[in-house]
């Protein structure tokens, strides 16, 4: 069982970004660092990399943003694993597809579904809103 802690202030969030599109992943990471310098951002280019990071950092993460369509392990399965193993982490999904079975699966395991590409600043606003909604905080 993970130790309980209260919600972290929204200017100090710890994120996990997961996307197999490394160009988009790096662009989002740079944009988030510029927009929210107090946030700690960990990036993974695959679900396997994400699971390694979760093993090390899962107890300290606040939000996971995950691409849905990835090779090896679909984002829907990764989000389900995160939900089951780290229920304190707010789960958000990204997809370039507007509909389809993968998005239906994402809805079961994520608290916010977003379409990509998405500007980093807009992603940050969605992260804050979803985190505050989960923890019943005012944004």
Please state the domain extents for the chain: 14-135
Question: How is domain 14-135 classified at the CATH fold level?
Answer: Rossmann fold (3.40.50)
> Hey, is 130 helix, strand or coil?
helix
Burial annotation 27-52 (CB, 10 A radius, 16+ → b, else e)? ebbebbeeebeebbbbbbbbbebbbe
> Hey, is 61 helix, strand or coil?
coil
pLDDT in tens, 54-90: 999 999 999 999 999 888 888 889 999 999 999 999 9
Output the pTM of the full model.
0.89
Report the length, in residues, of the chain: 139
């Amino acid at each position: 069982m993970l130790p309980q802690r209260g919600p972290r202030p929204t200017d100090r969030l710890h994120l996990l970004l997961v996307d197999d599109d490394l160009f988009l992943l790096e662009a989002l990471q740079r944009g988030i660092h510029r927009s929210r310098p107090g946030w700690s951002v960990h990036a993974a280019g695959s679900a396997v990399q994400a699971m390694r990071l979760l093993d090390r950092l899962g107890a300290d993460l606040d939000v996971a943003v995950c691409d849905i369509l990835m090779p090896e392990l679909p984002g829907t399965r990764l989000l389900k694993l995160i939900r089951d193993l780290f229920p304190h982490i707010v789960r958000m999904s990204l997809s370039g597809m507007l509909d389809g079975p993968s998005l239906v699966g994402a809805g079961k395991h994520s608290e916010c579904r977003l379409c990509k590409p998405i500007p980093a600043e807009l992603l940050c606003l969605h992260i804050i809103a979803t985190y505050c909604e989960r923890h019943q905080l005012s944004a």
